[in-house]
Amino acid sequence: MAFDFTKMHGIGNDYVLVDAFTTPRLASSARLATLARRISDRHTGVGADGLILVCQPTSQGRRAGAHARMRMFNADGSEAEMCGNGVRLVAKFAFDQLRIRSNPMRIETGAGVLPIAYTTSAGKLTTATVDMGEPQLDPQRVPADLSHAAPSLARASRRDVIARTEHPFISLIRTDIGWLSTTFVGMGNPHAVIFVDRPPIASSIAKLPLNLDELDLARLGPALERHDAFPNRANIHFARSLSPSRVQMRTWERGSGITLACGTGACAVVVAGVLTGALKRTARADLPGGTLRIRWDPDTNHIAMTGPATEVYRGSWPG
């Protein structure tokens, strides 16, 4: 199947976007998972963290006021519910190429319809603020499987993959390098946040380097993504609080591997930082690809994420 595409990125988190809005048959192909793997390959394809189809809203989405819909496939072909950087790119595609001018724009995702306010320059969308909704902290809604969770680290047995702590939002997950202090956050997709500067609570807690560049993310990421604690796999984030209003992070993204940025992940990291006393509700998240501004509103409980959306080039996929 031949079609035109646009390569875009949000602070280095790059995607191939395809217009299934004016050509709806593209969204109904049975080979989208295969296409995502082929087109995302950085040696034999376009090269990206995944494939995004910009589609017409569903009937349910239209009732909620959606102007367009996002379907997102990771580089491994798995379909994801949401992508914070990706949804900004969808808004840019809708403004720049589909001429949708509503501001805020409402984009339907697997996590619901999200309002996006944006700014423009020279007739192009440049920066967007996404209302990411409320974080999910109930483990069942993340989801995180606590069926084999010990009531404490001291009472954990070999079969327990999670141990509880006295802190309501810190759990310990068992790994081959020791237990990791982890906070589970749902942002329409599942996240596990590990602060490397969190004080150890027991000698069996794994010691991680404070310098995030020294983390062996290529080894830790795959094992944690598919850890028994996560029935739908999870996005894994290692973070370090540089100040109450600034956090540094690195990401292993579910289905894509090491990425330069993760928008939903930055939201999850700030939420985890607030819940554990490391961060304020308004914080700057520094990722390898750039910076996102995150605000967790105490009145609405909604999270606002602000960042750029950049077009790289346009091309044609031969099919």
pLDDT of res. 202:
66
Is the C-alpha dihedral spanning 192, 196, 198, 202 positive or negative? positive
The question of whether 83 is a catalytic residue gets the answer yes
- Answer CATH for 139-299 from 2.30.40.10, 3.10.310.10, 2.40.50.140, 3.90.1150.10: 3.10.310.10
- Kindly name the residue from 32, 48, 54, 83 that is annotated as catalytic: 83
In tens, the pLDDT along 212-246 reads 999 999 999 999 999 999 999 999 999 999 999 99
- Kindly name the residue from 18, 262, 266, 285 that is annotated as catalytic: 262
pLDDT of res. 203:
66
What is the average pLDDT score of the chain?
Answer: 95
Give pTM, 2 decimals.
Answer: 0.93
The pLDDT confidence band at residue 28, using thresholds 50, 70 and 90, is confident
In tens, the pLDDT along 260-294 reads 999 999 999 999 999 999 999 999 999 999 999 99
The question of whether 55 is a catalytic residue gets the answer no
In tens, the pLDDT along 58-83 reads 999 999 999 999 999 999 999 999 99
Which residues make up the CATH 3.10.310.10 domain(s) of the chain? 3-133+308-317, 139-299
* Mean pLDDT of all residues in 47-56: 98
pLDDT of res. 199:
77
Question: Domain 3-133+308-317 carries which CATH code?
Answer: 3.10.310.10
